[in-house]
A and B are shown apart, each in its own frame.
Chain A
Amino acid sequence: MADKQNTVIDVNDLCKTYFMPGGMSQSVLKNVSFKVNHGEFVAIMGHSGSGKSTLMNILGCLDRPTSGLYKLAGQAISDKTDSELAHVRGQKIGFVFQNFNLLMKRTIADNVSLPLIYQGVSEKERRKRALQMLERVQLMGYEDRLPTQISGGMQQRVAIARALINNPEIIFADEPTGNLDSKTSDEIMSLFTDLNKQGITIVLVTHEDDVADYAKRMIKIDDGRKVYDGLRADYGKDKK
Chain B
Amino acid sequence: MIGQILREAWISMTAYKMRTFLTMLGIMIGVAAVVLMVAAGQTVQNEITKTFDSMGTNLIIIGPGETVSGGVRGGRGRPSVSFDDVNSLKSLKDVENTSYIVNAAVQAVYGSNNYGVSVAGTTPDYLDIGNWEIEDGAMFTEHDLKTGKPYIVIGQTVVNELFGMQDPVGKVLRLKGHPFTVIGTLKEKGDGLMGNDQDNIILTPATTLRQRLRGSYRPNYSDTAFVKVTSEDKMEAVANRIEYQLRARHRLKEGVANDFTVRLMTDMVDKVRSIGMILSILLASIASISLIVGSIGIMNMMLVSVTERTREIGTRKALGAPNKWIMFQFLTESVMISFMGSFIGMILGVALSQIAGAVLDKAVPISIWSVIISVSVAVVVGVVSGLMPAIKAMKLDPIDALRYQ
Report if A119-B320 is in contact (Cβ < 8 Å); known contacts: A101-B314, A101-B315, A103-B315. yes
Question: Which residues of chain A are within 8 angstroms of B15 by Cβ–Cβ distance?
Answer: 105
Q: Smallest CB–CB gap between A143 and chain B, Å?
A: 16
Please, how many angstroms separate the alpha-carbon atoms of A123 and B6 in the complex? 13
Q: Name, among B15, B317, B319, B321, the residue most crowded by chain A CB atoms within 10 Å (CB to CB).
A: B319
User: Which A97-142 residues have C-beta < 8 A from chain B?
Assistant: 97, 101-103, 105-106, 114-115, 117-120, 123
B314 nearest in chain A by CB position: A101
Decide if B319 touches A83 in the complex (CB within 8 Å): no
Question: Which residues of chain B are within 8 angstroms of A118 by Cβ–Cβ distance?
Answer: 316, 319-322, 325
Question: Which residues of chain B are within 8 angstroms of A105 by Cβ–Cβ distance?
Answer: 11-12, 15
B286 is an interface residue with CB less than 8 A from chain A: no
Q: Smallest CB–CB gap between B3 and chain A, Å?
A: 9
Decide if B316 touches A89 in the complex (CB within 8 Å): no
Report if A106-B319 is in contact (Cβ < 8 Å); known contacts: A57-B399, A83-B324, A117-B4. no
0 or 1 for each of B1-34: is its CB under 8 Å from A? (1 = yes): 1001001100110010000000000000000000
B312 is an interface residue with CB less than 8 A from chain A: yes
The 8 Å CB contact of A103, one of B312, B322, B323, B325, is B312
Q: Name, among A82, A87, A118, A123, the residue most crowded by chain B CB atoms within 10 Å (CB to CB).
A: A118
Q: Smallest CB–CB gap between A33 and chain B, Å?
A: 23
Q: Name, among A91, A117, A166, the residue most crowded by chain B CB atoms within 10 Å (CB to CB).
A: A117
Decide if A89 touches B319 in the complex (CB within 8 Å): yes
Question: Which residues of chain B are within 8 angstroms of A91 by Cβ–Cβ distance?
Answer: 320
A121 nearest in chain B by CB position: B4
Q: Smallest CB–CB gap between A160 and chain B, Å?
A: 13
A224 is an interface residue with CB less than 8 A from chain B: no
B190 is an interface residue with CB less than 8 A from chain A: no
A166 nearest in chain B by CB position: B320
B1 nearest in chain A by CB position: A120
Decide if B11 touches A115 in the complex (CB within 8 Å): no
Question: Which residues of chain A are within 8 angstroms of B12 by Cβ–Cβ distance?
Answer: 105
User: Which A158-173 residues have C-beta < 8 A from chain B?
Assistant: 162, 166
Decide if B402 touches A114 in the complex (CB within 8 Å): no
Decide if A62 touches B315 in the complex (CB within 8 Å): no
B320 nearest in chain A by CB position: A90
Q: Name, among B7, B322, B324, the residue most crowded by chain A CB atoms within 10 Å (CB to CB).
A: B322
User: Which B366-405 residues have C-beta < 8 A from chain A?
Assistant: 398-399, 402
Decide if B398 touches A83 in the complex (CB within 8 Å): no
User: Which B303-338 residues have C-beta < 8 A from chain A?
Assistant: 311-312, 314-325
Q: Smallest CB–CB gap between A142 and chain B, Å?
A: 19
Decide if B319 touches A114 in the complex (CB within 8 Å): yes
Q: Smallest CB–CB gap between A82 and chain B, Å?
A: 6
Please, how many angstroms separate the alpha-carbon atoms of A101 and B405 in the complex? 11
A111 nearest in chain B by CB position: B315
Q: Name, among A63, A90, A120, the residue most crowded by chain B CB atoms within 10 Å (CB to CB).
A: A90
Decide if B320 touches A106 in the complex (CB within 8 Å): no
Q: Smallest CB–CB gap between A128 and chain B, Å?
A: 16
Decide if A86 touches B321 in the complex (CB within 8 Å): yes
Question: Which residues of chain B are within 8 angstroms of A87 by Cβ–Cβ distance?
Answer: 320, 322
Q: Name, among A60, A114, A120, A162, the residue most crowded by chain B CB atoms within 10 Å (CB to CB).
A: A114
Question: Which residues of chain B are within 8 angstroms of A162 by Cβ–Cβ distance?
Answer: 319
B324 nearest in chain A by CB position: A83
Please, how many angstroms separate the alpha-carbon atoms of A118 and B311 in the complex? 18
Decide if B315 touches A60 in the complex (CB within 8 Å): no
Question: Which residues of chain A are within 8 angstroms of B318 by Cβ–Cβ distance?
Answer: 60, 62, 89, 95, 101
23 A-B pairs with C-beta separation under 8 A: A57-B399, A62-B402, A63-B399, A83-B324, A86-B321, A86-B322, A87-B320, A89-B317, A89-B318, A89-B320, A95-B319, A101-B318, A102-B315, A103-B315, A114-B316, A114-B319, A115-B319, A117-B321, A118-B319, A118-B325, A123-B4, A123-B7, A166-B320
5 cross-chain pairs, A with B, having the tightest CB-CB distances, nearest first: A90-B320, A105-B15, A101-B315, A115-B319, A118-B320
Q: Interface residues, chain A, CB within 8 Å of chain B?
A: 57, 60, 62-63, 82-83, 86-87, 89-91, 95, 97, 101-103, 105-106, 114-115, 117-120, 123, 162, 166
Q: Interface residues, chain B, CB within 8 Å of chain A?
A: 1, 4, 7-8, 11-12, 15, 311-312, 314-325, 398-399, 402
What would 16 more interface pairs be, CB under 8 Å, given A62-B318, A89-B318, A118-B321? A63-B399, A83-B322, A87-B322, A97-B402, A101-B314, A103-B315, A114-B315, A114-B316, A117-B4, A117-B321, A118-B322, A118-B325, A119-B320, A120-B1, A120-B4, A162-B319
